[in-house]
Structure 1
Amino acid sequence: MQAAVERAIATMWDRYEEPLSLDDIADTAILSKFYFSRVFRTLTGTSPGRFLSAIRLLKAKHLLLRTELSVTDISYQVGYNSLGTFTSRFTRSVGLSPGRYRTLARTGMPVAPRAFRSAAARRTCEVRGSVGSPEVGLPTRIYVAAFTDPIVQGEPVACDILEGPGEFVLSGIQEGVWHLRAAVVSVYDVEPQPWKRSPLFIGSSRPLTVRADHPIEVDLETREFCPFDLPILLALPELDCWQLPQPELAAGAIGLTRG
């Protein structure tokens, strides 16, 4: 089944600009669409449609940096028929509008961190633990954040930024089910072309059920990307800035603050 889903994901990357339906994608896996959807979600943590959308938005990020195409042209090139739908999904997923993303990524200047959603009316919990990563002999920065779903997109409910492996604390997490995600990025030895950059390693937790006033401890181990991993859509300076990031910009990650 893994090979079948890998074929389907390869099709999404190769034909993301086409109006692919669930039937089209399932056909490449040689499975019925209902069975394919179940297997796909088991292996990736999300649906084929959301995976395809993540690929399209990542490609849009690349085109915003690599070309002078208008936002309208880019929306059509990555498979959207509506500029409004593309803009709203991009903004919700990346944390910036397409035009704002292009401008800020090219200047290399971080956005002033946004405040997280207020938890004043609800009791909250603290999630803490440690995050590790393979030794690479380079300075690294690790982003750890809690999201509403497995896709690293939009505004996290809490985030911590570490200067290498170590302890993290995520405060103010409300009751509910959350997904912890970690991304390890290089600080100095960074690929100069943003569209070629990727995290060194990523990590994730099982879905966490948070109950008020019940602290949770989670240890995260990171690993290299695999075909079943969704692309990171949330804008991070080390991945998205045109200019190489500077150490003093660490806490100014686009859309992120310490939890």
Structure 2
Amino acid sequence: MQHAVEQAVRIIRERYAEPLSLDDISCAVLVSKFHLLRVFRQVTGVTPGRFLSAVRISEAKRLLHHSDLAVAAISSMVGYDSTGSFTSRFTESVGIPPTQYRQLSRGEGGSAARSPAQGPAGLARCRLRGVVRAAAKPLSPIYIGSFGGPILQGRPSSWTTVEDLGPFALQQVPRGICHLHATMLAAREQPLETVLLTATLGPLHIDPYISSEVELVLCPQNWSTPPVLFAPPGFETLTERVPQPGFKRLSSGFK
């Protein structure tokens, strides 16, 4: 089961610019599309289609940050036929439009205040307590938020930052089902290198009448983890300020 999913993820990451369908991927890994859909979701937490979309937007973020290519060119390079559709999907996933992301990721134009998504009026809100743990010390603030799904994308319904590992509290979490996500930068074993750590927990049932605490354990991403799409305010700028051996911004093409 895992071998087929690994192959499917590899195909998605290598061929994301192509008009890949579930049929294409299942044929390439020699399993039925119904079996692949089931096992892929079990291993990664999402469908192949959502994983593919996340990889495309993640690659677009990289190109926006590290190149001066036009948004229309990047849209085509990551598999979109329409620049308008790409811009809408990018904004929905990352929280800000592509051009603004490029500016903020390079430390240009200040920071964007991205308020939590507003739920229906009158919806009960709750306070959620927990603890965040990791095997490494943070090099950045730890961002923690409640989101609508297993991919760290879109706007959180509630979010906070903490400066160190340990307890946290999320205020005004909407009652109902959500996923908790956390992310931070940490040091690798080698000097001057950093690694992105993430944690996902859910689906969780949030109820104002049930008191509970959660635990988030931050770990390095692996092959089965969908890319992080949401851009916490200032996070890319902070990543850029951390020394990165061999870093060079490109005027065109790939890094």
TM-score, structure 1 length as denominator?
Answer: 0.84
Q: Give the deviation of 1:120 after TM superposition.
A: 5.4
Retained in 1: the 8 A contact 2:126–2:208?
A: yes
Which residue of structure 2 lines up, in the alignment, with residue 34 of structure 1? 34
Give the 3 Å change call, closer, same or farther, for CA 225–95 of structure 1 in structure 2: same
Q: Give the deviation of 1:239 after TM superposition.
A: 3.4
Deviations 1:156-186 (A, max 9, x none): 0111211121111111112211001111214
Q: Give the deviation of 1:190 after TM superposition.
A: 7.0
Q: Secondary structure at the match of 1:92?
A: helix
Give the 3 Å change call, closer, same or farther, for CA 99–241 of structure 1 in structure 2: farther
- Alignment partner of 1:156 is 2:156: yes
Q: Secondary structure at the match of 2:132?
A: strand
Distance, in Å, in 2 between the alignment partners of 1:11 and 1:76 is: 19
Q: Give the deviation of 1:241 after TM superposition.
A: 5.7
Which residue of structure 1 lines up, in the alignment, with residue 245 of structure 2? none
Q: Secondary structure at the match of 1:223?
A: strand
- Alignment partner of 1:229 is 2:225: yes
Which residue of structure 2 lines up, in the alignment, with residue 104 of structure 1? 104
Retained in 2: the 8 A contact 1:26–1:36?
A: yes
- Alignment partner of 1:238 is 2:235: yes
Percent identical = 38
- Alignment partner of 1:203 is 2:199: yes
Consecutive unaligned residues of structure 2, counting only runs of 5 or more, are 243-255
TM-score, structure 2 length as denominator?
Answer: 0.85
Q: Give the deviation of 1:83 after TM superposition.
A: 1.1
Which residue of structure 2 lines up, in the alignment, with residue 219 of structure 1? 215
Which residue of structure 1 lines up, in the alignment, with residue 122 of structure 2? 121
Retained in 1: the 8 A contact 2:178–2:205?
A: yes
Distance, in Å, in 1 between the alignment partners of 2:121 and 2:58 is: 34
Q: How many residues align structurally?
A: 237
Distance, in Å, in 1 between the alignment partners of 2:119 and 2:50 is: 28
Which residue of structure 1 lines up, in the alignment, with residue 8 of structure 2? 8
Larger CA deviation: 99-108 vs 79-88: 99-108
Give the 3 Å change call, closer, same or farther, for CA 241–163 of structure 1 in structure 2: closer
Deviations 1:182-239 (A, max 9, x none): 112149x876xxxxx751x211213101123333311111222111101100113333
Larger CA deviation: 104-113 vs 139-148: 104-113
List 4+ stretches of structure 1 deviating above 6 A: none
C-alpha RMSD of the superposition: 2.2
Distance, in Å, in 1 between the alignment partners of 2:239 and 2:125 is: 37
Q: Secondary structure at the match of 2:219?
A: coil
Retained in 2: the 8 A contact 1:190–1:238?
A: no
Distance, in Å, in 2 between the alignment partners of 1:239 and 1:206 is: 26
- Alignment partner of 1:82 is 2:82: yes
